[in-house]
């Protein structure tokens, strides 16, 4: 008997083909986020729920689906799932680490370059047909080569960002909950500094921490005040890691140089000023948005849920304590 699986949103075709072969699959036919009631209706009788980072999965859904054996998130971040509720019900929750590291670091570095060199402003100028020609003083940006990149969080994606920074001759300093060994730091050519020092010394400050109650508004008013007046902050982690209202105040008052943002506190809605502030580059949560990466994420989610349905421990369980 093939396990019954409900997918909340269309994902790449090779993953759907794989799942159709190995499971009895039901897919949300509409390209939109479902309500909790719709998820419950769609997943009734299913053993596996393959959900997205935009689907809040709480106790209400878990209790309404007594046959649910696994919640497989299509994403490395899993703050959309009430993991404590799943753990209390002995339901494994899985995520997709590793496969989106490079794509997300690419977007972080793209935002760094775009913010430093004012690419958003430049593109808007050209498209508005207001460009009057080359001008020695037009849209002068920040130098990237030789600048200091501060990384807050130094897991897989932070380290991939450091690798990119080496090619641009950036000095890389980092803060992480757990410091790397001297040998690892040497190999990655990075220097550990206390949190506040990284914030104060960075020309570019890029955030790479998971979102949880400890990282809510990790960067706020006092940090913007402590940054260099030319500093640019990059966020590809989760919106609420950064206090968006405080960021808007800092950008509006030009207390910092700029921001490159892929994630927002209340996606898809931004703080109103962010739609027009020229010193912010804003893109719609594109970190993992490549065909290859999204396919790998889907295959990993599929393998995780199939493992649970086969009575095995899934490779990427975020609540392994349920296995004792």
Residue among 164, 223, 238, 294 flagged as catalytic: 238
**Distance (Å, rounded) from C-alpha 4 to C-alpha 111?**
40
Contacts within 8 Å (CB) and 24+ apart, 58-64: 58/82, 58/85, 59/85, 59/89, 60/36, 61/36, 62/86, 62/89, 62/91, 63/89, 64/40
Shortest reach from residue 158's CB to ligand DGY, in Å: 14
In this complex, which beta carbon is closest to ligand DGY, that of residue 101 or of residue 176? 101
Shortest reach from residue 314's CB to ligand DGY, in Å: 16
* CA-angle at 50, arms to 49 and 54, nearest 5°: 110
Shortest reach from residue 238's CB to ligand DGY, in Å: 7
In this complex, which beta carbon is closest to ligand DGY, that of residue 257 or of residue 260? 260
* CA-angle at 78, arms to 271 and 7, nearest 5°: 100
Number of Cα atoms under 13 Å in the Cβ half of residue 317: 21
CA-nearest of 176, 219, 216, 269 to 79 is 216
Residue 261's H or E segment, with its range, is strand 258-261
Shortest reach from residue 77's CB to ligand DGY, in Å: 3
Buried b (16+ CB within 10 A) or exposed e, 278-287: ebbbbbebbb
- Pairing, β 258-261 against β 232-235: parallel
In this complex, which beta carbon is closest to ligand DGY, that of residue 206 or of residue 288? 288
In this complex, which beta carbon is closest to ligand DGY, that of residue 92 or of residue 257? 92
DSSP string of 63-115? HH-TT--EEEEESS--TTB-HHHHHHTT--EE---STTHHHHHHHHHHHHHHH
Q: Among this protein's residues, is 102 annotated catalytic?
A: no
CA-nearest of 55, 86, 49, 53 to 71 is 49
Q: Among this protein's residues, is 285 annotated catalytic?
A: yes
Q: Are 244 and 274 in contact (CB under 8 A)?
A: yes
Residue among 118, 208, 223, 285 flagged as catalytic: 285
Q: Among this protein's residues, is 223 annotated catalytic?
A: no
Residues at the site binding ligand DGY, with contacts judged by CB under 6 A: 53, 75-77, 100, 287-288
Shortest reach from residue 75's CB to ligand DGY, in Å: 3
Shortest reach from residue 236's CB to ligand DGY, in Å: 8
**Distance (Å, rounded) from C-alpha 113 to C-alpha 134?**
20
In this complex, which beta carbon is closest to ligand DGY, that of residue 176 or of residue 293? 293
In this complex, which beta carbon is closest to ligand DGY, that of residue 118 or of residue 164? 164
In this complex, which beta carbon is closest to ligand DGY, that of residue 231 or of residue 241? 241
Shortest reach from residue 268's CB to ligand DGY, in Å: 14
Residue among 10, 123, 184, 267 flagged as catalytic: 267
Handedness of CA 133, 139, 144, 150 (dihedral sign): negative
Give catalytic residues, as residue numbers: 238, 267, 285
């Amino acid at each position: 008997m093939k396990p019954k699986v409900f997918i909340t949103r269309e994902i790449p075709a090779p993953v759907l083909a794989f799942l159709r072969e190995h499971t009895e699959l039901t897919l949300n036919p509409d390209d939109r986020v479902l309500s909790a009631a719709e998820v419950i209706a769609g997943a009734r009788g299913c053993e596996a729920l393959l959900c997205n980072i935009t689907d809040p999965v709480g106790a209400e859904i878990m209790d309404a689906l007594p046959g649910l054996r696994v919640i497989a998130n299509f994403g490395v971040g899993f703050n959309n799932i009430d993991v404590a509720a799943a753990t209390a019900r002995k339901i494994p929750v899985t995520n997709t680490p590793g496969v989106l590291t490079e794509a997300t670091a690419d977007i972080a570095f793209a935002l760094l370059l775009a913010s430093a060199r004012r690419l958003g402003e430049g593109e808007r100028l050209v498209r508005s047909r207001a460009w009057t020609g080359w001008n020695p003083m037009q849209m002068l940006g920040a130098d990237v080569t030789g600048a200091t990149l501060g990384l807050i969080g130094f897991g897989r994606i932070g380290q991939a960002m450091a690798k990119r920074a080496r090619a641009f001759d950036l000095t890389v300093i980092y803060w992480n909950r757990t410091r790397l060994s001297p040998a690892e730091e040497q190999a990655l050519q990075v220097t550990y500094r206390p949190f506040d020092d990284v914030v104060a010394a960075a020309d570019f400050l890029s955030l790479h921490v998971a979102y949880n109650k400890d990282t809510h508004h990790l960067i706020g008013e006092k940090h913007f005040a402590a940054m260099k007046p030319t500093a640019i902050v990059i966020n590809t982690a989760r919106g609420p890691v950064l206090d968006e209202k405080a960021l808007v105040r800092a950008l509006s008052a030009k207390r910092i140089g700029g921001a490159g943002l892929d994630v927002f506190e209340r996606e898809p809605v931004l703080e109103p000023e962010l739609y027009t502030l020229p010193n912010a580059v804003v893109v719609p949560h594109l970190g993992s948005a490549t065909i290859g990466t999204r396919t790998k994420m889907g295959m990993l989610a599929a393998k995780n849920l199939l493992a649970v349905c086969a009575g095995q421990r899934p490779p990427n369980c975020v609540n392994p304590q349920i296995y004792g």
